[in-house]
Structure 1
Amino acid sequence: MTVKILADSACDLTKTHYNEYNIEMVSLTVHLEEKEYEDGKTIQPKTVYEAMRNGSSPKTSQVSPQTFKSVFTSHAKTNQPLLYIAFSSQLSGTYQTAKMMEQEVKEEYPDAPIHVVDTKCASIGYGLVVLHAAKLAKQGASLEELIEDVTFQAEHMEHIFTVDDLEYLYRGGRVSKTAAFVGSLLKIKPLLHVEDGKLIPLEKIRGSKKVLGRMLEIMEQRGNDFTKQTIGISHGDDLERAQQLSSMIQDKFGVREEDIVIEMVGSAIGAHAGPGTIALFFSNKVK
């Protein structure tokens, strides 16, 4: 029986991806102006970014325990192999909730072929890991083979990103108030990366024009074989700069345009990163 792949909406994939590779998706919740929305289903990222530009501070919450229990139980009843590839446990409680529900369901169905993996990845970096696994699952890979592949892909997925305004990350508890104030005051554009699932400041760059060039320098230092992998770019409602970064990557590394996935940062992650975010994802060197 083909393994079913389950992801959550923080992977920032589109319905096209879900449908093409038969990926099931569960949503994080976005709270905006006293209303609740399902990320990736009942709210568009543009709506969140426009609200943030107008001064709103959206909040998010993890996938509910009931949602996981329902999905896991339905697969356990039919003995359908299921691999839930999860958003970083360092950025959301979703993974921990899924693990609790997995244990609960396995008390009733001890032989259920259900497994949960923490990618420690986010946005399209996480999405690329999901897509890679979904393609293998479609080709008939076993649950064990998929777990091994996801673990490897996730460990080697680089996240290099910049935000337009540190204030958004401060509101989401991602940087200190001092860092946000100083960055905004000096027009500093921070470069951040993800290390063991956490957002870590990498360096500060004066002026936005230099940021994309520096992202490519880091990409060159950390990765190789760019023509043999899929590159991911996600953006906070700034397609023009995302396409600019894509063109720079094509010119510098000889990557084909069709091997670069560009998507908007979804509502849940965008609620913390804010409009103007540009993020780059690629597989690093295997040490």
Structure 2
Amino acid sequence: MTFQIMTDSTADLSQSYLKEHHIAHLGMTVNIGDQTYETIGEKALDNSTLLEAIKKGQTVQTSQVNSGQFLEVFKKFALADEELVYLAFSSGLSGTYQSAVIAREMLLEELPEAEITVVDTLAAASGEGFLVEEMVKLRDAGKTLDESLKVLNELIQRLESRFMVDDLNHLARGGRIPKAVALVGTMANIKPLLDVDPEGKLRQVTKVRGKKKAIHQMIEKTLTEMDSAYPHLIISYSGTDETAQEIKTQILEESPQIAVDIRPLSPTIVTHTGEGTIAIFSVAKEYRK
């Protein structure tokens, strides 16, 4: 391998994929009441436990990876004289990226020759995971880190992330969207559609009356704007995968050449979205705007 890759638990990548492709990763923690749960490893929090706690009205919060945790991992790679690139959860949604930047600066004071690169993916969930997978393909094809970063940084600007959340109050409580947007979402049968803007923050794109119409609009915009050079999209969900499967069927009926993956959202993301979230991730022809 020409370089090592690292990411975090918000990328929605399976443990088997991470292990198979030798990807280092750190996990955020989720607090339910006064109990703290890990999001990686054999005892990682599962979504059923988390969603049950949310339904019961328990207080749920996430904690970002701190600089000390990053420093420990970065130093391990530096001492092994390995080049490392960390693809981070969007700086517009978490302080995790900044923690990694601080850790890198601390490491370089001690080991100036360390080759550690921190990338702000400006993405969340499987959008972040999509970028990690593309980086793996580039590395495994023998590309250097500089060559890979040139491709990755261009992809970051074209990655589209579209969300529909059943209960926007979860996002409002965490400060991810304005309370006024959440208020609209509580109106009868109104489904605000969200995306991730060029700064990596969530924003409301439009309001649609009815879940069926909202899903149709998500599919239509995704397929219209997709880059045919990247005929691959990811559908993520929280709760059951029934709606995700229906969306996959609709997409393949219209565009059978597209590869469609379905993945559950990570507990870190579900903490802020609750049950019934649907997201579609793809690479568009144009830059985000």
Residue in structure 1 matched with residue 281 of structure 2 by the alignment: 281
Kept in 1, the 8 Å contact 2:181–2:204? The answer is no
Q: Distance in 2 between matches of 1:250 and 1:23?
A: 31
3-state SS in 2 of match to 1:7 = strand
- Residue of 116, 125, 128 corresponding to 1:126: 128
3-state SS in 2 of match to 1:152 = helix
The correspondence of residues 109-120 of structure 1 with structure 2, limited to 5 A, is 109-120=111-122
Deviations 1:134-175 (A, max 9, x none): 122223221112222221221111001100111111211123
Task: Name whichever of 13-22 and 78-87 sits farther off.
Answer: 13-22
3-state SS in 2 of match to 1:262 = strand
Q: Distance in 2 between matches of 1:157 and 1:198?
A: 13
Kept in 1, the 8 Å contact 2:184–2:192? The answer is no
Deviations 1:107-127 (A, max 9, x none): 111111110110100110110
Kept in 1, the 8 Å contact 2:93–2:176? The answer is no
Task: Tell me, yes or no, if structure 1 residue 213 matches structure 2 residue 216.
Answer: yes
Kept in 2, the 8 Å contact 1:57–1:271? The answer is no
Q: Distance in 1 between matches of 2:162 and 2:59?
A: 24
3-state SS in 1 of match to 2:5 = strand
Deviations 1:76-127 (A, max 9, x none): 1111010001110010000001011101101111111110110100110110
3-state SS in 1 of match to 2:40 = coil
3-state SS in 1 of match to 2:186 = helix
Q: Distance in 2 between matches of 1:2 and 1:36?
A: 37
Deviation at 1:229, TM superposition (A): 2.8
Please provide the CA RMSD for this pair: 1.6
Structure 2 stretches of 5 or more lacking a match?
none
Aligned positions, number = 284
Residue in structure 2 matched with residue 30 of structure 1 by the alignment: 30
The correspondence of residues 1-287 of structure 1 with structure 2, limited to 5 A, is 2-41=2-41, 42-196=44-198, 197-225=200-228, 228-256=230-258, 259-286=259-286
Q: Distance in 1 between matches of 2:17 and 2:166?
A: 28
Q: Distance in 2 between matches of 1:94 and 1:66?
A: 12
Q: Distance in 2 between matches of 1:187 and 1:163?
A: 12
Deviation at 1:44, TM superposition (A): 1.0
Q: Distance in 1 between matches of 2:3 and 2:121?
A: 18
Deviations 1:152-202 (A, max 9, x none): 221111001100111111211123334323321323111000002010101
Paired residue type of 1:277? T
3-state SS in 2 of match to 1:220 = helix
Q: Distance in 1 between matches of 2:246 and 2:156?
A: 26
Deviation at 1:45, TM superposition (A): 2.0
Task: Name whichever of 174-183 and 93-102 sits farther off.
Answer: 174-183
Percent of aligned pairs with the same amino acid:
36
Q: Distance in 2 between matches of 1:220 and 1:260?
A: 12
TM-score by length of 1: 0.94
Relative distance call for 1:123 and 1:176 in structure 2 (3 A) is: same
Kept in 2, the 8 Å contact 1:160–1:279? The answer is yes
3-state SS in 2 of match to 1:191 = strand
